Structure 1
Amino acid sequence: MSAQAEKVDAGPPAEVRTSAGPLGGGPARGRGRLTGAAPYLLLLPAVAATLVLLGWPLVKNGMLSFQNLNKRQLIQHLTEWRGFDNYRETLTSEAFWRVTGRSVVFTAVNVALIMLLGTLVGLLLARLGTKMRLLLSTGLVLAWAMPVIAATTVYQWLFAQRFGVVNWVLDALGWHGMADYNWTSSQFSTFFVITVLLVWQSIPFVAINLYAATTTIPKELYEAAALDGAGTWKSFTSVTFPFLKPFLLATTFLEVIWIFKAFPQVFAINEGGPERLTETLPVYAFVEGVGNQHYGMGAAISVLTILILLGLTGSYLRTVLKQEEDEL
């Protein structure tokens, strides 16, 4: 009996105990796989929402760009495929290339002004005391937070022909010919109003983020530059600018996209007028598609606009990668 009891108490054979190890390691491996998949599982809701809210409309718009869809087709529920005819007509149209060139120049001028003024305001924030910095930052945030249509309405009132504040101020300063000036009567003056609006809306983003970037620059570098006899400009070019260069590149890219696709400001000021001389590509696509009820043509123009933006994105990514390779 004692021998049998010892045999029972001895537990399972060695080979059984050894084989239990791999069986016991199964849950650990499962937890490892789950941990490795956790980031992808967390991204899944965002990816699904993007595909539903952005991907599906892009697919529908792409399909629409190959169709002949006007009022007749809408009423009769017809689907008429045109192949690449919409793209062919758009790319061979002088109006499309004229609007594209106008959009590029418009974007370049606005982005240059935004980056210059935004950088100056951001550097000013870094120099101000706490109270003045808080006051200026509050004003910038309020300007940034104002809804686009509300801001556009305010600017329409400011530059109104009869009761506009701008005309009243100019008249009071001695420019009496501006007392009843119509700011939307010409291409240049209309673009001037739109540019002032866009620059005013964009400066806070650049200024606040640039100020945040300046706080990451070690103060020891400025002290070392001062010991070397560097003045304000030399300190900026040798210390501040190298640290801010990646931020400036990224912000410039974001501003290019934001200005290039700006629609409500351009359309609300004068609906692309006068005589369609202030249409940019988004406004041109809307006028051709919805305004003239050539929905397939409008979809083709919007797809070409997206392709242009993708080209700009590719150029930016190449610039960033080249910069990283140079730093390595």
Structure 2
Amino acid sequence: MAVQLDEAAVRATPPAPPDGPPSPAPRRSRGAGRLPWLLLAPALGATVLLLGWPMVKNGMLSFQNLNARQLILHLTEWTGFDNYGDALGSEHFWRVTVRSVLFTTVNVVLIMLAGTLTGLLLARLGRRMRLLLSVGLVLTWAMPIIAATTVYQWLFAQRFGVVNWLLDHLGWHSMADYNWTGSQFSTFFVVTVLIVWQSVPFVALSLYAATTTIPKELYEAAALDGAGAWKAFVSVTYPFIKPFLFATTFLEVIWVFKAFPQIYAIGQGGPDRLTETLPIYAFVEGIGNQHFGMGAAISLLTILILLALMSYYFRLVLRQERDES
């Protein structure tokens, strides 16, 4: 009995610390600390060269009075903040700004709604149908913007457009020769359909990839608890795809807000400049009216307005990361 107690005491006694001072923690070499910056250096250099320097030149241009006369005579006329004052004091600038925000909001809501539903549909389809739909989405996403815009110009053409022909044969005979670019609402309708059609594949494929990371056991447990389709989506699917929804919404806001070729190719900002958004407005004032300083000022104001709009989104993302941590 004493022997057994002694053995138990020996096993319970912690081992003695080794003799001598503790070994120091391994130090990171200076080369290991510099390696990430060396790897990032090419990308940072390209960003500064291709994006930073043009931004600096554009900023300098926004403080100048530069038109055809100054270009021909090689004159540099500094005007300070006059271009910014003229832009901010213009009623047309604020109408275009409000129009741009509303246009972006409507498009992003439609894109996220259609893209989310399409992504969830991909997760529920069989392998063959999923492959067929995925190929269609990829081909849509891969089509060049100008090519897609040209197709939509043909579809909504006034005399020989497929849309007018189809509506006429369905009984809406008044739409036989309807001019889709003749009013503000109809022009924005065509542009919105085009932008949503181009953007849905990115959102759908991204969210489908997110759904593949959800364990099937969670759906089985939800089904055992009597959860229906909506309850399973709210309690299982949505928490997993929420980060992807935030990320894709962020990217879509930027992409739609700066959309230029679709709007300009469809109606050039018309009729009567009623479909101009901020990028179109900057182009018309800068290139069209050859007031390059004003165009540069409007483009920089566009960036500042976009940053102001995205600041609320940044706070939401930071709050979500803080809650998860």
Common fold: TM-score over 0.5 = yes
2:84 is aligned with 1:92: no
2:230 is aligned with 1:230: no
Find 2:127's aligned residue among 105, 119, 130: 130
- The offset of 1:325, in angstroms, is 1.8
Distance 1:253 1:43 in 2: 24
Report the equivalent of 1:283.
280
Report the equivalent of 1:304.
301
Find 1:316's aligned residue among 290, 313, 316: 313
How many residue pairs align between the two structures? 300
2:98 is aligned with 1:83: no
What amino acid does structure 2 have at the position aligned with 1:243? Answer: F
Distance 1:183 1:264 in 2: 17
RMSD: 1.2
- The offset of 1:220, in angstroms, is 1.1
- The offset of 1:233, in angstroms, is 0.6
Deviations along 1:84-105, whole A, 9 cap, x unmatched? 0100111111000000000000
Report the equivalent of 1:171.
168
Find 1:66's aligned residue among 63, 68, 71: 63
Find 1:196's aligned residue among 193, 196, 203: 193
Report the equivalent of 2:250.
253
Report the equivalent of 2:149.
152
Find 2:240's aligned residue among 226, 243, 247: 243
Q: Does the residue aligned with 2:29 lie in a helix, a strand or coil?
A: helix
TM-score by length of structure 1 reads 0.90
Moved over 6 A (4+): none
- The offset of 1:79, in angstroms, is 0.3
TM-score by length of structure 2 reads 0.91
Report the equivalent of 1:326.
323
- The offset of 1:314, in angstroms, is 2.7
Report the equivalent of 1:22.
none
User: 1 or 2, which has the higher helix percentage?
Assistant: 1
2:159 is aligned with 1:162: yes
Report the equivalent of 1:41.
38
Unaligned runs of 5+ in 1: 1-27
Distance 1:79 1:310 in 2: 30
Q: Does the residue aligned with 1:216 lie in a helix, a strand or coil?
A: coil
Deviations along 1:242-267, whole A, 9 cap, x unmatched? 11111111111110110000000000
- The offset of 1:33, in angstroms, is 1.5
Find 1:113's aligned residue among 95, 110, 113: 110
Unaligned runs of 5+ in 2: 1-25
Q: Does the residue aligned with 1:210 lie in a helix, a strand or coil?
A: helix
What amino acid does structure 2 have at the position aligned with 1:126? Answer: A
